[in-house]
Structures are given as C-alpha cells and as structure tokens.
Amino acid sequence: MDNMIIGVGIDIVKIEKIKSIIERLGKDFLERVFNQEELENISKSKMYYQRLAARFAAKEAIIKALSKKKPLALKDILILNKENGAPYCEFKKKLDVEIFLSITHIEEYAIACAIAQQK
C-alpha cells in the first residue's frame, strides 16, 4: 500500500495570549504542554514567546491532522529543530505516521500547518 495522507491540520495562536498564560501560570503551564527537551531548545531570547507559541500551534495542528487516530495529549508531541532550523516532530507514543510540518511567527501571531501521512 502506498503512503497516503490521512489528515491536515492548521492552527493560529495569538502570541500575547501565550505570553499572558505563561506569566500567570509559569512553570505549571510550560510543564503541562512542553517536554524538557523542547524547553531546552528554546532560548530565552526576544523571540522566546514567539517560539513557544509556534510550537504550541504546531502541536494543535498535529492533533487536528491526526484527529481520526487515537487522541494525543500536547506532551505526547515533541516539536524540535533539525540542524538547519527546520521544525520536525517526534511522538512519545509509537505512531505509524509521518508528519510534514511548517511553522512561522511574526510579532502578533504564530501559525502552524501539519500534514499527516500513513507510513
């Protein structure tokens, strides 16, 4: 059987909303949504909140793309970067899917698109 697309997901996040949640809930929110490896890869620079928001949007887009599969929690998904900066995802659970991921952010918004393909 050929590899086939099983879902597409897109998400947009207002960066100020993520910043506000982090300022209010701090470590509790970060640990509920992100894995330690993800947090270590996001440096506290001026782009800190944009990067967190983009990864949050990516996780939401992946969940939408996989909506016909078993439910996933945000922490089941890791959003990491290749050496060239391109984002990719790994799963905590064994899933027989490949995700094609694109994320971007500007001053106010972060957007992600995910395409799920059956392996």
User: Which domains does the chain possess?
Assistant: 5-118 (3.90.470.20)
Give me the phi and psi of 75, to 5 degrees please. Answer: -75, -10
Q: Which of 103, 77, 100 is CA-nearest to residue 90?
A: 77
| Full-model pTM | 0.93
Q: Could you tell me if 87 and 80 are in contact, meaning their C-beta atoms sit under 8 angstroms apart?
A: yes
Cβ 85 vs Cβ 31: under 8 Å: no
Q: List pLDDT tens digits, range 66-112.
A: 988 778 999 999 999 999 989 999 999 888 899 999 999 998 999 99
Q: What pLDDT, in 10s, does the model give residues 18-58?
A: 999 999 999 999 999 999 999 988 876 778 999 999 999 99
Residue 1 has pLDDT above 60, yes or no: no
Left, alpha or beta for 87 (phi > 0: left; psi -120 to 50: alpha)? Answer: beta
DSSP 8-state assignment for residue 47 = T
Q: How buried is residue 68: exposed, middle or buried, by Cβ count under 10 Å (0-12/13-18/19+)?
A: exposed
